[in-house]
Amino acid sequence: MVPSFQWLTTSESLKPAVERWLSCSELFIDTEFIREKTFYPELALIQVFDGEQCYLIEPRAADDDSKFCEILTSSSIRKVFHSASEDCEVLFRHFNVQINHLWDTQVVAAFLGHGLSIGYSRLIEHYCQCVLDKGLSRSDWQKRPLSEEQIRYALEDVTYLAEAYNKQKQELDDKSFDIQWILEECESLAQRIHELDEIELAYLDIKNAWKLNKKQLVRLQQLAQWRESTAREKNRPKTFVCRNEVLFSLAQKGCKDSHLPEVKGWHPASRRKYQAAILKLLQEIEEADVKDIKLIQPLSPSFWQQQTHNMQLARELIDKKANELGIDPDVLCSKKLLRNYVKFCLGKRSTPPRGWTSLRESSMGESIKAIFVTG
């Protein structure tokens, strides 16, 4: 049997609910969206539980309701999600807002020692002793009417979330854990949206970029930036535009006599559609003087091998701090986060990595810098 809920399909039906939510201290929220053949996620449904009543909201009902967006950005209403990164992105893309006062139960579970990136089903099984069916996560959420099974699934994503949240708060109180670590982590997660369209450094994420010489690296940087822009303009997944290995081969080979090289694995449809734009881009690079172009050089495996001892010293420092806090060392600082922070320390990136919160900096930053900069 489907639990009781209100289905809000118009701005008029949403307004009374929004007025009610403005007096809440917490709201439990989830979204359903589609993203299989598009670059941008397409919001299909919003679920809200205010502790007493469940709501399913058609996105169009909230499109013209500024107070709904005020709730998302309010610093006095805590928005509780599970694994919130994609929810933050889809709500940002749809409403152009950053979630404020976020609580991510997945993040909190990690700090409480319940595993990194715990799924919602496991979280609910742990806190609520209930086994949920998650088989509908990839169903068609844009199709109407929703099936009874989809409605039940959508409601369970927020009703059980409230119980898990309350038990997490009690667990934190019992452990006397410094909640500021969690609040900063959730804030950092919410701020990720500001990096979504920083495309100039996309080339650094392409495998083996460190193998390229200066001119080849300029080609790769320009090709990767072109792909990012094109994927957004066409609203198509990046892999539908051009795969990483194809960009790497094009950067490596360049163009000769106004012709593109043969590239293994380049999908014929992608080549037909984008070869003219790619050829033009590569020709412009061939005619340019690249020696004065400044790019961040990707770091090679040999660089990290040379840093093995220093990385071990940094890990020992992190392990010690994690032990003091009573948390998993990988929660305090993952291998990826440490590497990116080391790049910042060595001037290989201009800003600290997302996730390097002020508490991490104040408790470990200077000590890690000393290892790599003076070590």
Active site residue 153: yes
Active site residue 157: yes
| Side-chain-side CA neighbours of residue 174 (13 Å) | 7
What is the phi-psi region of residue 341: left when phi exceeds 0, alpha when psi lies from -120 to 50, beta otherwise? alpha
Q: Which of 120, 127, 153, 160 is catalytic?
A: 153
Identified catalytic residue from 58, 156, 157, 185: 157
What is the spatial distance between Cα 221 and Cα 224, in angstroms, rounded to a whole number?
Answer: 5
For residue 87, indicate whether it is catalytic.
yes
φ, ψ of residue 3 to 5 degrees: the values are -65, 160
DSSP class of 49: E
Q: Which two tokens stand for residue 35?
A: 């993203």
Handedness of CA 37, 41, 42, 43 (dihedral sign): positive
Written as six digits, the tokens of 105 are 């139960």
Distance CA 231, CA 227 (A): 6
Only one residue has tokens 């917490």, namely: 26
Catalytic residue among 30, 58, 89, 104: 30
The yes-or-no answer on residue 156 being catalytic is: no
Residue 330 is among the residues annotated as catalytic for this protein = no
Q: What own/partner pairs with CB < 8 Å and gap ≥ 24 does 280-289 have?
A: 281/222, 281/223, 281/226, 282/219, 282/223, 282/250, 282/254, 282/255, 283/255, 283/258, 285/215, 285/218, 285/219, 285/222, 285/254, 286/254, 286/255, 288/218
b/e string for 75-94 if b means 16 or more Cβ within 10 A?
Answer: eebbbbbbbbeebbbbbbbb
* 77/98 Cα distance (integer angstroms): 14
- Catalytic site residue from 58, 65, 87, 89: 87
Per-residue DSSP letter, 54: E
Catalytic residues: 30, 32, 87, 153, 157
